[in-house]
Amino acid sequence: MLARLGRIVARGRYAVIAGWAGIALCGAVFGGTVYDRTEPLDDLRPNAESTAAQARIDELAPTGEQIVAVLSGRNFFATDLVNQASQIMFEIRAIPGVVKVTDAYTAGSAQVSADNLSSLVVVELSPELDDDAALAVADQVSAALHRVAVPTVLVGGKLLAERDFGDQAIADAAFGESVALLVLCGALIVMLGGLAAGSLPMGAALATVAGTLLALTGLAGAMGVSDYTVNVVTLLGLGLAVDYSLLILARFREERAADPRAPLPDLLARTVATAGRAVLVSGLAVGVALSGLFFFAEPLLAAMALGGALVVLLATATGLTLVPALIAVAHRRIPAPGTRTWVWRRPARRGPGLLARSAAFAQRRPAAVALAVTAGLLALGVPLLHVNLADSDARSLPASSEARQAYEAVERDFAAKYPQPVPVVIEAPAGDPAVTSLLDRMRALPGVTDVDLRESLPPDVVIAEVELPGRAASERTQQLVRDLRALDTTVPVLVAGPAAQLVDAKDGTADRLPVALAVVVAATALLLFLLTGSLVVPLKALLMNLLTMLATLGVLVAVFQWGWGSALLGFTPWGALDVTTPLLLFVFVFGLSMDYEVFLLARIREEWDRRTGDDRAANDRAVLAGITATGPVVTAAAVSIGIVFLGFALGELVAVKEIGVGMAVAVLLDVTVIRGLLLPALMSLLGRANWWPARAAALPPTATATPPALPHPRQEPTAKASSAHTPARTRRSA
């Protein structure tokens, strides 16, 4: 089937290119509007306790958005400041859409810092305002607050922080993609030896990204899509498209060098049948990994999973159709590896590449290399033992953001003295003895300073506000949430607030992670089994991916939580990782690791099927030959995708920067120490056991790849066990 696809694409190359050009043009014209249709998404599923509790509170006592401001730099009691600030507070109350102003000048809130140099202002907007109207009112309030005669006025709040996040996401995407594409284009021209060859992966990448933006625009009409989703998904699409393009291009050059007189359709048939099979399996593996996000049911992760599935589909489609079509048009301008061009002034030296030399070294000392690499990766993962996961909120914004500075000023100067209470919804009358007993036990919990009851509520419900000094989502506050939920009572109780949301996010992830892992691992293992016919190879691949993941997360904890190298990366650490980062990285790193695993194993299996020996030496030769053949393309793919990820790491949003840096670290580790050292070392130690249970269980790439009418000039006789099945399979594939 894939061989037939290669011929069809070769003959209809211009129609294929025109079709993808139309998709890219529509994506360029309409895809950019996706940012106008994005919206903030909840990290929690709708039936999470904190979500249900907040919905109940909004039903009983609806409140609008809040604008929070910190006025600092002058003594609060200065007479002229009191007069001027009081006048401005009354002006703010008169702005249409403002329903309440809580301040220390006119409302007697006493929210003044310990040194009397800062005061807190909270402005509540009408709940009837939609987002656009609320932002318009917020801008009026902000302008008025900035007229207060103090050196520093910081205005923030969730509404303004979300707008800043969206604006920054657009700016980061434009900057990151521009830098990544520019540097990537230059790198591909150098690596592939010419402008035409270097432009092929770029064409596939641009078509994939444009198509992804178009697909996300349509998706945004059916479900919520966040700016964060758009950034991360386009990042993934760029990387995958370049990876698949390089694999197809490298195999075409190899097939052409082996049979320079073969007709172009035949060459592309062989290329798509062999490298295309690896692209197809890799796309399935990455898609399966992304599907694991669906099991978490949260709106943000669901949108990420659907967007990721779309981009994998598009990247795989461009790899199997657009890239061969572009090759068919420009094949005469694609130089053979090592030839002299305007880029390469002298012919490249013939010899094994970096991965091949590393593999040969590992095969000479397999036990020592396997132990050393495993120990090193585990050492990199040690910081993960001290990971702190939290909702980044405004702290994911750049340090220069006023919304972030306002958030941090509130946490620093007012959280301890004026803590944000934890709301508890009790579905029973206040006079119920069970409620009275419950409130007494709440007051007796460790650290609780007070429990207040909200007024003006229906008689059959109570909303208690439990106060605990400290930040709204600190470890102590999270423990308070758990203690509140653990109280034995006969009345229904729901706990809300930021700490409750974080507890629900962590607990939800822990509850669903085993199921998601089981699905992803089982499906990926099945794909690798169908690719190699071995049960050992998938197990080994999964263990190596786990090592990559542990090491990557350990590095992220050191960099983003502890702040190692933060100045070099241009961000201010806030002492935690975003709660979604480990999960997203697991999915993306797992998928990309399988990407390179499939590239290498498909070729290793192909070399193994060609060899008549069945001993350890034959296994080592097959592994080394496979790595030698695919090493250059894997290295080029890793360099390319690393450029893409580091381009996004140049952005200002810390949450996106975490993903970009994490994926770049994972790719670096995977392609160097995992594929170059650990993989060949383990395969050498296992020998023929790598291919257990038997060759007959496999679907050999060579058997399904080459039609009988196109004998490969380099093909060696296969073992009798596999050659007996070759004619029937090749007739079907042709």
172-183: pLDDT as tens digits: 888 887 888 888
Q: What percentage of the chain carries pLDDT values higher than 70?
A: 92
Residue 728 has pLDDT above 50, yes or no: no
Could you read off the pLDDT of 454-479 as tens digits, one per residue? 988 999 999 999 999 888 888 999 99
Domains of the chain: which residue ranges? 1-47+168-338, 66-156
CATH pick for 1-47+168-338 out of 3.40.50.300, 1.20.1640.10, 2.60.40.1120, 2.40.30.10: 1.20.1640.10
State the Cα–Cα distance between residues 81 and 75, nearest whole angstrom. 8
pLDDT category of residue 346 using cuts at 50, 70 and 90: low
Distance in angstroms (rounded) separating the CA atoms of residues 248 and 270: 10
Percent of the chain scoring above 90 in pLDDT:
46
Q: How far apart are CA 190 and CA 199, in angstroms?
A: 11
Q: Model confidence over 64-121: pLDDT tens digits?
A: 999 999 999 999 999 999 999 999 999 999 999 999 999 999 987 778 988 899 999 9
Cα separation, 542 vs 547, whole angstroms? 9
Residue 297: the pLDDT is 66
**For residue 620, pLDDT beyond 70:** yes
Q: What tens digit of pLDDT does each residue of 19-34 get?
A: 999 999 999 888 878 8
The model's pTM is 0.81
- pLDDT of the residue at 314: 93
pLDDT number for residue 142: 97
* Token digits of residue 43: 């990290």
Mean pLDDT, residues 236-257: 90
Query: Who has greater pLDDT, 190 or 349?
Result: 190
Query: How confident is the model at residue 181, as a pLDDT?
Result: 83
C-alpha–C-alpha distance, residues 164 and 318, integer Å: 35
pLDDT at residue 715 tops 60 = no
| DSSP 8-state assignment for residue 716 | P
pLDDT(701) > 60 = no
pLDDT tens, position by position, 397-411: 998 999 999 999 998
SS3 at position 72: strand
Instruction: Work out the number of other CB atoms within 10 angstroms of the CB of residue 338.
Output: 13
Quick one: pLDDT band at residue 235, thresholds 50, 70, 90?
confident
CATH topology of 1-47+168-338 equal to that of 66-156? Answer: no
Joined together, the tokens standing for residue 596 give 């390179």
- So what CATH class is 66-156? alpha beta
For 87-91, 428-432, 692-696, which range has the lowest pLDDT when averaged over its residues? 692-696
Q: Of 43 and 568, which is predicted with more confidence?
A: 568
Comparing C-alpha atoms, which of 70, 64, 65 is closest to residue 146?
70
Cα 320 vs. chain centroid, distance in angstroms? 25
**Joined tokens for residue 42:** 């909840």
Residue 73: count of CB within 10 angstroms of its CB: 11
The pLDDT score that the predictor gives to residue 105 is 92
Indicate the residue type of 379: A
Would you say residue 130 has pLDDT above 80?
A: yes
587: alpha, beta or left? (left if phi > 0; alpha if psi -120 to 50): alpha
292 with 304: CB under 8 angstroms?
no
